[in-house]
């Protein structure tokens, strides 16, 4: 499960994964092998697992009515394939209280006693459970029971298998104008689907500032207009995304997720009856969480953020000193920059560990909460890391020329790193494929004759060698920093939006390609919104008002412009303008409702239906004197 436990077998096969998987698809399509029973997930035992252990695990899992097939290929290679009948899955879905669309058009918690209510026209019972939900339901059922085997290293890995036919839907297609978000949700779960939904929405929204940026460049638009444009654009974009997002999460049955949902697996506490359902559940007093958050975590975070800001300032000072001591041509000028970059990299790495540790200590109940608080900490730090020096140059040094230069340099480096990550990694994987094509070792013929289902075995063998997909964190962070470059200094960087637009069009498709081809399939994760990233984008959008207004203020001709309107008080007029923009942002934020009307109506309708049912049940009980 952990990186340390990776056996040499696995690392040796990483290289030819892509090629082999493609071959196995061809094989399957051409030879038309009898379709094996759909395998949802596979458990891989480590070298030290004895056959006895494997059989124990199998027995435990079978108690949950999960179908298992134990495949002992050799002494070191043991697989346990997990599958389930449709009935079992539907039962799991009922227990997990998944929300599903009913034929009356409202979302209700799934109930396996009346499957027909959930069978929309053209659906079979097997369609009720989404493609990504099968593995998750099985995992949620069995994981607590096999946790001890995972902890002591007998189980090395546990992951869902790719559905090779379904993956075809994500093949790249130039004619397609939008990403197949619904399919992504079906296959990867709502958390990843929301990431793609957001990327797509953001990329489309970037068209406006891209055009505006060109107009701004050509006609030298008044900066106060630029400020106003970005206030309107960022606010409306973020508000509309919230609406879009709640539409998604309604359709995907996540809109009623709350911080009082079932706890994540790392949550600790004491078993007590849950105040909502009355079932025994882990409970941990909120006051300890708050205490940890406000008295430990956030003070530490603020100290780190301040340290990062100080680091950035320090660089300027050192540079100035070196410049004074050795002159502008000395090669020594590069030393502070290099030392600085290395220190920042180390500091960032350490900070990420620290943030994770602090968030662990806070012991949040749900995964969404945990992620939100972790990302909050990281995001604050990254914003300071990336933008503080620009703010310093702009408003303390007040050097617009250096600002433009520094901004361009940073943006360039950032885009190169992005492109390297986005294109380089898959490209390298493909190149490696081509290379190993001539040297890959085939699976032993002896083993081939040993296994019952060769295609399944091959798929497991190859997919086990893929990297684990970590989370959407890196991808969101990239987008967030990019958004910062686009909006924070829009007044002096009119082309940033255009660059971001071009970059994102490619990045979207490449992200999807990577997810389908070079990572193990992740267990689908539910999410009702993009969590802390919404706040991060909103924070940047507020900072953009301040920074752009600041830039406006620094323009000499603008100062003259304002003092022409109200000669007595140019400064107050200016502050008034900035506050009006802040106010405008707030008013738009209030005026646009977080949820579209149809979602509100649908939610009320579902409530109404279940209230009516409650009433009927009570009536029925009263009439028949049942208790």
Query: If you count them, how many residues does the chain have?
Result: 627
Binding mask 448-467 for a second copy (x = CB under 8 A): --------------------
Using CB under 8 A as the binding rule, the residues of this chain from 63 to 122 that contact a second copy are 97, 108-109, 111, 113-114, 117
What mask, x for binding a second copy by CB under 8 A, covers residues 383 to 422? ------------xx--------------------------
Residues in binding contact with a second copy, number by CB under 8 A: 45
* Ranges within 542-571 binding a second copy (CB under 8 A): 546, 568-569, 571
Please report whether residue 295 would count as binding a second copy according to CB under 8 A.
no
Of 132, 127, 195, 129, nearest to 160 (Cα)?
A: 132
Stretch that binds a second copy, among 123-131, 426-434, 488-496, 615-623 (CB under 8 A): 615-623
Least Å from the CB of residue 587 to a second copy: 10
User: What is d(CA 117, CA 113) in angstroms, rounded to the nearest whole number?
Assistant: 9
Question: For a second copy, which is the closer residue by CB, 153 or 269?
Answer: 269
What letter does residue 71 receive in the DSSP assignment?
E
Residue choice 51, 95, 145, 575 for contact with a second copy (CB under 8 A): 575
Our CB check for a second copy shows the closer of 102 and 191 to be 102
Task: Identify the residue among 122, 270, 622, 625 touching a second copy (CB under 8 A).
Answer: 622
Q: At what angle do helices 473-488 and 367-391 cross, to 10 degrees?
A: 40
Nearer to a second copy, 14 or 305 (CB): 305
Q: Is 296 in the site for a second copy (CB under 8 A)?
A: no
Among residues 223, 250, 135, the alpha carbon closest in space to that of 529 is found at 250
* Residue 618 binds a second copy (CB under 8 A): yes
* CA contacts within 13 A on the Cβ side of 226: 33
Q: How many whole angstroms separate alpha carbon 594 and alpha carbon 16?
A: 47
Cα of 445 vs its chain's centroid, Å: 41
280-283 and 270-273 beta bridge pairing = antiparallel
Contact positions with a second copy (CB under 8 A) in 212-271: 256, 258, 260
At 365, phi and psi to the nearest 5?
-70, -50
Listed in sequence order, the residues at least 6 apart from 552 whose beta carbon sits closer than 8 Å to its beta carbon are 223, 224, 226, 227, 491, 558, 574
Is residue 240 within a helix (H) or strand (E), and if so which, with residue range?
helix 223-251
Listed ranges 20-28, 59-67, 302-310, 598-606: which one lies at the site for a second copy (CB under 8 A): 598-606
Binding of a second copy by 621 (CB under 8 A): yes
Count CB-CB contacts under 10 A for residue 144.
9
| Residue with token string 């990431």 | 195
- Please give the structure tokens belonging to residue 618: 């009570």
Q: Does 601 bind a second copy (CB under 8 A)?
A: yes
Tell me if residue 539 falls in helix, strand or coil.
helix
481: Cβ contacts below 8 Å, ≥ 6 apart = 382, 386, 414
Per rule CB under 8 A, is residue 182 in the interface with a second copy? no
The reply on whether position 357 binds a second copy by CB under 8 A is no
Does 176 help bind a second copy (rule: CB under 8 A)? no
Asked if residue 625 binds a second copy (CB under 8 A), the reply is no
Residues lying near a second copy in the complex (CB under 8 A) are found at 97, 108-109, 111, 113-114, 117, 256, 258, 260, 275-277, 286, 395-396, 546, 568-569, 571-572, 575, 579, 582, 597, 600-601, 604-605, 607-611, 613-623
């Amino acid at each position: 499960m952990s990186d340390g436990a990776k056996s040499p077998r696995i690392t040796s096969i990483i290289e030819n994964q892509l090629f082999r998987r493609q071959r196995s698809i061809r094989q399957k399509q051409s030879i038309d092998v009898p379709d094996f029973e759909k395998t949802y997930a596979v458990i891989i035992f480590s070298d030290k697992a004895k056959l006895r252990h494997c059989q124990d695990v199998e027995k435990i899992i079978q108690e949950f009515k999960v179908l298992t097939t134990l495949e002992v290929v050799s002494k070191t290679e043991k697989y346990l394939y997990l599958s389930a009948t449709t009935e079992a899955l539907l039962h799991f879905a009922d227990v997990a209280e998944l929300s599903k669309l009913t034929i009356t058009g409202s979302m209700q918690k799934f109930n396996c006693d009346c499957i027909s209510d959930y069978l929309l026209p053209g659906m079979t019972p097997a369609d009720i459970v989404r493609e990504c939900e099968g593995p998750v339901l099985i995992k949620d059922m069995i994981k607590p029971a096999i946790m001890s085997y995972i902890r002591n290293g007998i189980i090395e890995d546990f992951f869902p298998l790719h559905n090779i036919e379904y993956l075809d839907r994500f093949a790249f297609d130039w004619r397609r104008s939008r990403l197949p978000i619904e399919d992504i949700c079906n296959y990867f779960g709502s958390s990843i689907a929301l990431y793609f939904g957001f990327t797509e929405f953001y990329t489309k929204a970037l068209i406006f500032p891209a055009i505006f940026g060109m107009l701004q460049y050509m006609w030298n638009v008044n900066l106060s207009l630029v400020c106003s444009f970005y206030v309107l654009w960022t606010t409306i974009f973020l508000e509309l995304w919230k609406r879009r997002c709640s539409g998604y999460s309604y359709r995907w049955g996540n809109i009623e997720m709350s911080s009082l949902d079932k706890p994540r697996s790392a949550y600790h506490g004491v078993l007590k009856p849950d105040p909502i359902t009355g079932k025994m559940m882990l409970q941990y007093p909120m006051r300890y969480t708050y205490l940890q958050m406000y008295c430990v975590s956030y003070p530490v975070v603020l100290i780190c953020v301040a340290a990062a800001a100080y680091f950035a300032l320090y660089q300027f000072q050192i540079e100035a000193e070196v410049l004074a001591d050795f002159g502008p041509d000395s090669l020594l000028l590069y030393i502070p920059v290099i030392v600085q970059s290395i220190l920042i990299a180390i500091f960032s790495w350490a900070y990420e560990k620290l943030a994770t540790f602090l968030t662990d200590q806070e012991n949040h109940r749900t995964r969404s909460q945990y992620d939100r608080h972790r990302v909050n900490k990281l995001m604050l730090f990254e914003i300071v890391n990336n933008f503080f020096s620009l703010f310093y140059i702009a408003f303390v040094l007040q050097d617009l020329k250096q600002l433009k230069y520094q901004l361009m340099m940073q943006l360039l480096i950032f885009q190169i790193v992005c492109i390297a990550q986005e294109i380089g990694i898959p490209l390298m994987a493909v190149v490696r494929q081509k290379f190993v094509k001539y040297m890959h070792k085939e699976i032993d013929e002896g083993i081939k004759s040993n296994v019952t289902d060769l295609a399944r075995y091959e798929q497991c063998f190859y997919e086990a060698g893929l990297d684990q997909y970590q989370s959407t964190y890196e991808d969101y962070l990239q987008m967030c920093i990019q958004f910062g470059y686009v909006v924070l200094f829009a007044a002096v960087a009119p082309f940033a939006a255009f660059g971001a637009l071009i970059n994102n069009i490619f990045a979207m498709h490449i992200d999807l390609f990577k997810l389908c081809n070079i990572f193990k399939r992740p267990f689908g994760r539910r999410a009702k919104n993009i969590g802390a990233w919404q706040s991060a984008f909103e924070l940047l959008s507020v900072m953009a008002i301040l920074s752009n207004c600041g830039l406006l203020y620094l323009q000499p001709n603008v100062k003259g412009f304002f003092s022409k309107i109200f000669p007595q008080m140019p400064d107050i007029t200016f502050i008034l303008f900035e506050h009006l923009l802040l106010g405008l942002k707030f008013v738009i934020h209030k005026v646009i409702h977080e949820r579209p009307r149809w979602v509100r109506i649908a939610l009320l309708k579902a409530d109404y239906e279940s209230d009516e049912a409650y009433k009927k049940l009570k009536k029925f009980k009263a009439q028949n004197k049942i208790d």
